[in-house]
Structure 1
Amino acid sequence: MTDLKTLRQLIKMMVDHDLTEVDVEGEDGKVRLRRGGKPVESGGGVPTVVLNPAAGAPPAAPAPAAGAAAPAGGGEAPVAEDPNLVTINSPMVGTYYASSSPDAPAYVKVGDTVTAETVICLIEAMKVFNEIKAEASGTVAEILVKNGEAVEFGQPIMKIRPN
């Protein structure tokens, strides 16, 4: 079972990033945390903790896509909706980092050619830095998040123009 300190850190992360649900699996077990709503059937011995939102606080609206669409590469105009572009989505909740350290160059920038195995960014989740690969070959057309920005599971982070 996860210790109380870790649970408190998870709860703080949920509140700070306005998350409604977090599932964590590690060597010592699984934990599912959910704010508001009804408890989820945990099944399989997964502890479920339900947090009630602050009284009277309205649910937060998702961030508008236009605000997140600003490219991180230096002010290029957003790419027009092109049905041929491949969108790379965040595989987890965490913090997006364009490079391995603040003084290192970005893994990729708009115009770079990538393969499916090219590391395009890091996403930090619970103090673990996860390398995210392009999983598509082509040219980086647009970077949708800024360095240090929080990302949600499934959030679009980059668009690739296939070769």
Structure 2
Amino acid sequence: MNKIEEIKEYISLLENSSLSVLEIEKEDGTKIHLEKEHPAQQIFNASPIGAYQPTATDVPTPAPVQPQAPAAQPAAPEEDAKTVNAPIVGVFYAASAPGKAPFAPVGKKVSKGSTVCIIEAMKCMNEIQAEDDYEIVEVLVKDGDLVEYGQPLFKVK
């Protein structure tokens, strides 16, 4: 595969994923850094000189703004509820294989160092271990979901 085709393949992978940055370092020392442009970062050009410009009669007057009810306040978090967050970006797996029992179901007490889930990143299966002793209160993601760095995976106490 020539380098142009390889780069096009990397671009296609980035465009068809939820990732915003892709960095690759090859064995020969070649580094590739690709970033998606976020909609908020897009720059829109002004219309060229002589192009149509709306006048005051072309623009409809906005409707009066109705006052809205105050937004509901979020519920106060439980004082003793903590979360276990994803240490990397990847695909979340609750068990070692499909059909197997999950590592950390609701109600299970896990000890420091025990595996709570697997996150697959770049075809590597990464076992995520408990950083402390706790009980699983709620599993916040589904098996096979793509998770982001820092995303809460479990509620624990």
TM-score, structure 1 as length reference:
0.61
Contact 1:98 1:121 in 2 (8 A): yes
Aligned to 1:34: 35
> CA offsets, 1:95-146, max 9 Å, x none?
0000111021111101000112110110111111000012121100111100
Match of residue 155, structure 1, among 139, 151, 155? 151
Q: Taking structure 1 as reference, are residues 27 and 100 closer, same or farther at Cα in structure 2, changes over 3 Å only?
A: farther
Gaps of 5+ in 1: 38-51, 54-79
Aligned to 1:101: 97
The structure where strand makes up a greater share of residues is 1
TM-score, structure 2 as length reference:
0.63
Q: Bigger radius of gyration, 1 or 2?
A: 2
Aligned to 1:136: 132
> CA offsets, 1:55-108, max 9 Å, x none?
xxxxxxxxxxxxxxxxxxxxxxxxx82132221111111100001110211111
What value does the CA root-mean-square deviation take over the aligned residues? 2.9
Letter in 2 for 1:135: E
Q: Taking structure 1 as reference, are residues 146 and 11 closer, same or farther at Cα in structure 2, changes over 3 Å only?
A: farther
Write the distance in 2 (CA, Å) between the matches of 1:9 and 1:101.
Answer: 29
Is 1:83 the counterpart of 2:84 in the alignment? no
* Identity of matched residues, %: 36
